[in-house]
Structure 1
């Protein structure tokens, strides 16, 4: 008997990747999974863009940032990324959660609190790819519609079978509004 993974065709999409990442393991993993990978010089350095879902990811490795976030020019790079991409994610690649990584995460969160930037901390390349693909698939048109439909059905089922809603219906039926 086939498992669910064997019956479900693998989801594939187009990914535009900064040429600065053409040697990165995450790029190779996306290609190996048969996604249509395109490299571009016009994309911000360190970026992965999923055009069909409208999401963009900026890969940040704490080892590449000398000193504090504000002093390194990283804030301006992230600010530009957030302004260009409305559905933006910062992938903070930190294989070991040391004090430098935690301080950097805290500074970035504090600086971009209230913006549309979401931060995704990851520990390895497999988590980078899995996180990006999960978010991109959930926000792509056919999958987003399917998720919305399932949530609507779940909500309707909860309302139908909830004892609280049943009690409220009974109360409203027994109250005379005239």
Structure 2
């Protein structure tokens, strides 16, 4: 853990909870499916259900592990406040974004379980918005607030895994 004096900045100033991007992707995909349904291409097979459930379970596990680790060190989970420190232990020793990686896995698992292809087609849009509107703001904030510690952390740990 690397800490600093009490924050004086506004943090990453992300104006919305990042999971809303994933919820929005699902909602838009379901609406598109109602208006313009696509043919089913995901096989109706037991292995698809098993893989889908595994992705949802592992994804939600990663997300909650990230949340619990942030709560343990009393730093902001919702990126609208300044970070108090660079969290680099627990699941953060393996990925800089376990919550977002977990949400992505769960989202993909949901696509397999429901077969709603529009939701899957919209995932690149969701991830592009996540990177441009959330992750870049968070990374800029951490680089400004903890330049040496965050640079060293980025050199050790990848963004997604």
Q: Could you tell me the TM-score, scaled by structure 2's length?
A: 0.28
Greater RCO (Cα-Cα under 8 Å, separation 6 or more)? 2
Structure with a larger share of its residues in strand: 1
Structure with a larger share of its residues in helix: 2
Q: Could you tell me the TM-score, scaled by structure 1's length?
A: 0.26
Greater Rg by CA: 1
